[in-house]
Amino acid sequence: MSTFQAPKGTYDLLPPHSATYLAVREAISAPLRNSGYGYIETPGFENVELFARGVGESTDIVTKEMYAFETKGGDRLALRPEGTASVLRAALEANLHKGGNLPVKLWYSGSYYRYERPQKGRYRHFSQVGAEAIGAEDPALDAELIILADQAYRSLGLRNFRILLNSLGDKECRPVYRAALQDFLRGLDLDDDTRRRVDINPLRVLDDKRESVRKQLTGAPALGDYLCEACKAYHEQVRELLTAAGVAFENDANLVRGLDYYTRTTFEFVHDGLGSQSAVGGGGRYDGLSEMIGGPALPSVGWALGVDRTVLALEAEGVTLDIPAATAVYAVPLGEEARRVLFAQVTALRKAGIATDFAFGGKGLKNAMKSANRSGARLALVAGERDLAEGVVQLKNLESGEQTAVPLDAVVDEVRRTLG
């Protein structure tokens, strides 16, 4: 055992469990790749100010959960706690928005970091797949992203998730609601930190999970009552498009999400099988974020889906993904000459696109065949001195036990035929 262990609140992703994570990432990204979204990858750390401005100085993410540090050169950096601000920063820096082909549609996958109290479904290091559509204000774009996430989850076999939907208004109507909400909240019995939040971003108080706060929110002004006509019409179009696509959703007037940059459409995917940590992903429209981080006005929308949470949702529903074995063929040499000949066959099979492994380390036949079975291989290639003298290898079907002698120059064709 190593002297060192993974840091508290993190995990190591190891085979065979890691294959499920890869399959989930593939399933979430597949609809995006088929819908004009290009892949983007950003650094694991950014300037602290990017997140302070974009995510919001009043959020728990910035005030309590961000891993921030100072470099030897004096730069203040932070491990990325979310993906949207980084992706928008990269798109602006590369002038992707100046090509005239808006929206710029991007998807990404990676690890993110938040200093949280570790618990099941909530880690300090976690994995997400995200998508952003930058530079267009169109309810069809909001609907598209929600539909693609719904499609991804259903392709995995998930059924017991719900989509919560709300509108947070825009710069025209939200200030009026903000003032009314502040008046209401200032009359409550709140701690000093929450009162400061009331002054900075009162909508964040609506997202407070503490029962002592939540029970006081009964009778709070409803944002829907303050939406301007333009925001009402926009939200209604999003809902109509989702309904026409057959995507079920629930209207949730208290859904505000945990980031300051959201405007208008906001949504969350929840799974009741995960207990208190029920959110598996979410997102929304962030029309003012570009300006917050020094860019031009670029109305945008996006989401991030948690890979860890999605895996837990699959387990909660008892869904087992059909993941092909990493190895289709396992080669077992008996003797030095057989090692040389079979290794060449392994190389040829791999070049032909057939997943093949080799009994390394000079294992005997019994141990090598155990390794072949543990690998999940369907076929084994076995060769000894007598086989080589006859110019053949033995092709054994590990499922049926049937064994056939195959000429050396026909191994690739016969394996391909047998595997179908």
DSSP string, 82-137: -SHHHHHHHHHHTTGGGGS-PSEEEEEEEEEE-----BTTB-SEEEEEEEEEES--
Q: Does the annotation list 257 as a binding residue? A: yes
Q: Does the annotation list 114 as a binding residue? A: yes
Task: Provide the residue type at 271 as one letter.
Answer: H
pLDDT tens-digit map of 91-125:
999 999 998 889 999 999 999 999 988 777 778 99
Q: Does the annotation list 132 as a binding residue? A: yes
pLDDT tens-digit map of 358-368:
999 888 889 99
pLDDT, position 200: 80
Residue 58 pLDDT > 60: no
pLDDT tens-digit map of 261-304:
788 999 999 998 887 778 999 999 999 899 989 999 999 999 99
Residue 64 pLDDT > 80: no
Angle at 146 between CA 141 and CA 149, to 5 degrees: 125
Q: Greater confidence, 191 or 148?
A: 148
pLDDT tens-digit map of 208-264:
778 888 888 888 888 888 999 999 999 999 999 999 999 999 999 878 766 667 889
Average pLDDT, rounded, for the chain = 91
- pTM for the complete prediction? 0.89
* CATH number of the 329-419 domain: 3.40.50.800
Lowest-confidence region among 41-50, 105-114, 169-178, 352-361 = 169-178
pLDDT band, very low/low/confident/very high, at 56 (cuts 50, 70, 90): low
Q: Does the annotation list 83 as a binding residue? A: yes
CA dist., res. 21 & res. 11, Å (int) = 13
Domain ranges of the chain: 17-173+227-317, 329-419
User: What b-and-e string marks burial along 163-198, b requiring 16 or more CB atoms within 10 Å of the CB?
Assistant: bbbbbbbbeebbeebbebbeebbeeeebeeebeebb
Q: Greater confidence, 34 or 260?
A: 34
Q: HSE-up of 381 (CA within 13 Å, CB side)?
A: 35
Identify the CATH homologous superfamily for domain 17-173+227-317: Bira Bifunctional Protein; Domain 2 (3.30.930.10)
Task: Provide the residue type at 125 as one letter.
Answer: H
Give the helix/strand (H/E) hosting 300.
Answer: strand 300-306
Q: Do domains 17-173+227-317 and 329-419 have the same CATH topology?
A: no
CA dist., res. 319 & res. 350, Å (int) = 31
> Taking a C-beta distance cutoff of 8 angstroms, is the pair 279, 270 a contact?
yes
Give the helix/strand (H/E) hosting 69.
Answer: strand 68-70
Q: Does the annotation list 261 as a binding residue? A: yes
Give the helix/strand (H/E) hosting 314.
Answer: helix 307-317
Q: Greater confidence, 8 or 60?
A: 8
DSSP string, 323-371: ---S-SEEEEE-SHHHHHHHHHHHHHHHHTT--EEE-TT---HHHHHHH
Q: Does the annotation list 283 as a binding residue? A: no
Q: Does the annotation list 356 as a binding residue? A: no
